[in-house]
């Protein structure tokens, strides 16, 4: 009986490890996201975040802070937050991916919003790189899930520091170009940088899907956006990347506001880099 019990425990542990395993598929990333949610519900936010974070993980609370530092000084609290990914994608190299979807907080007086999590594969397991959430004014509509699997697996066997830096510099140059065009051409500049199925997460709103709807949203309320990039990272396979920083937004209503932002870029067939996800949350001065 003792041996049977030990075998059962070992099987459960192996099952948990398998569910969190990064095998380069979007399915494995979605499973890791779901396991993360279960861990928060079972173990509390502190233990879950410490387990699923790497030494460089950033959480936006609301400004970006190191996750290990933030949660190390925090009491482990039960969490009544629930969330479900409805959009996820993994790089062809299998080392970088993102998940996003709606969340709810509370049972009686509920709060709603959208989250964005960026994940990196670390020693065969998905770990958070970036985690943030935007708030909404009302319950969110159901969206048909879209979990996009990589079309193949392409990863260089070796990259040196110079090549890694050069790859990141391409993303920084792309965002610098975007920011320059935003200054000279206004919001219309986003039209040349958004994928057709891009998603925008902006406080107080549903997720806005599609280039046309995003441009219409921007044109309806914003006169200018200025971006100041703080950080960048990129998949080794050169098809997904992300940036984060501070955006200064001038509204048409003669109001200026600062936001923290995270942008996810995807490489197109013509080798250009385009925005597939944009997320903004108010910055705390």
Cis-peptide into 62, omega within 30 deg: yes
Which residues form the domain of 191?
161-282
pLDDT at residue 271, rounded to an integer: 93
**Same domain? 202 vs 246:** yes
Q: Is residue 73 part of a domain?
A: yes
What digits encode the pLDDT tens for the residues 209-228?
999 999 999 999 999 999 99
Residue that is last in its domain, among 117, 148, 179: 148
Beta-bridge partners for 242:
233, 264
pLDDT at residue 12, rounded to an integer: 33
pLDDT at residue 173, rounded to an integer: 98
Q: Is residue 88 part of a domain?
A: yes
What digits encode the pLDDT tens for the residues 257-272?
999 999 999 999 999 9
pLDDT at residue 7, rounded to an integer: 36
- The enclosing domain of 107 has a CATH number of 3.10.450.50
**What is the chain's mean pLDDT, rounded?**
90
Q: Is the pLDDT of residue 239 over 80?
A: yes
Q: Is the pLDDT of residue 72 over 50?
A: yes
Percent of the chain with pLDDT over 70: 93
**Same domain? 183 vs 263:** yes
Residues in the chain: 285
Question: What is the mean predicted confidence (pLDDT) over 158-164?
Answer: 89
What digits encode the pLDDT tens for the residues 5-18?
333 333 333 334 44
pLDDT at residue 256, rounded to an integer: 96
pLDDT at residue 143, rounded to an integer: 87
**Same domain? 242 vs 274:** yes
Query: At 115, is the pLDDT very low, low, confident or very high (cuts 50, 70, 90)?
Result: very high
The sign one gets for the Cα dihedral 66, 158, 169, 272 is negative
Q: How many domains does the chain have?
A: 2
Residue that is last in its domain, among 99, 119, 148: 148
Q: Is residue 19 part of a domain?
A: no
**Same domain? 131 vs 184:** no
**Same domain? 129 vs 204:** no
pLDDT at residue 124, rounded to an integer: 92
- Tokens read off for 12: 């459960």
Rounded to 10 degrees, the C-alpha dihedral 167/169/175/180 comes to -140
**Same domain? 87 vs 192:** no
Residue that is last in its domain, among 119, 148, 177: 148
Q: What's the pTM?
A: 0.91
**Same domain? 126 vs 235:** no
**Same domain? 166 vs 271:** yes
């Amino acid at each position: 009986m003792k041996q049977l019990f030990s075998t059962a425990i070992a099987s459960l542990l192996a099952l948990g490890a398998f569910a969190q395993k990064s095998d380069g598929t979007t399915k494995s990333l979605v499973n890791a996201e779901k396991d993360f949610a279960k861990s928060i519900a079972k173990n509390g936010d502190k233990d879950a975040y410490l387990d699923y974070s790497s030494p460089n993980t950033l959480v936006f609370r609301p400004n970006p802070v190191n996750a290990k530092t933030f949660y190390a000084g925090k009491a482990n609290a039960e969490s009544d937050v629930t969330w479900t990914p409805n959009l996820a994608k993994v790089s062809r190299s299998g080392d970088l991916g993102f998940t996003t979807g709606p969340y709810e907080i509370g049972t009686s007086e509920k709060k709603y919003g959208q989250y964005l999590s960026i994940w990196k594969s670390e020693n065969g397991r998905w770990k958070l790189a970036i985690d943030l959430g935007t708030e909404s004014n009302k319950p969110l509509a159901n969206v048909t899930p879209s979990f996009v699997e990589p079309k193949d697996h392409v990863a260089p066997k070796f990259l040196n520091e110079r090549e890694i830096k050069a790859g990141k510099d391409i993303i920084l140059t792309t965002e610098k170009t975007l920011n320059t065009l935003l200054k000279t051409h206004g919001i219309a500049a986003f039209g040349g940088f958004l994928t057709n199925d891009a998603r925008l997460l902006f406080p107080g709103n549903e997720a806005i899907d599609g280039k046309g709807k995003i441009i219409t949203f921007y044109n309806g309320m914003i006169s200018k956006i200025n971006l100041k990039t703080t950080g960048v990272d990129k998949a080794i396979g050169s098809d997904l990347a992300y940036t984060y920083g501070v955006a200064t937004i001038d509204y048409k209503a003669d109001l200026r506001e600062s936001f923290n932002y995270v942008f996810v870029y995807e490489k197109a067939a013509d080798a250009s880099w385009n925005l597939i996800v944009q997320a903004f949350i108010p910055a705390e001065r």
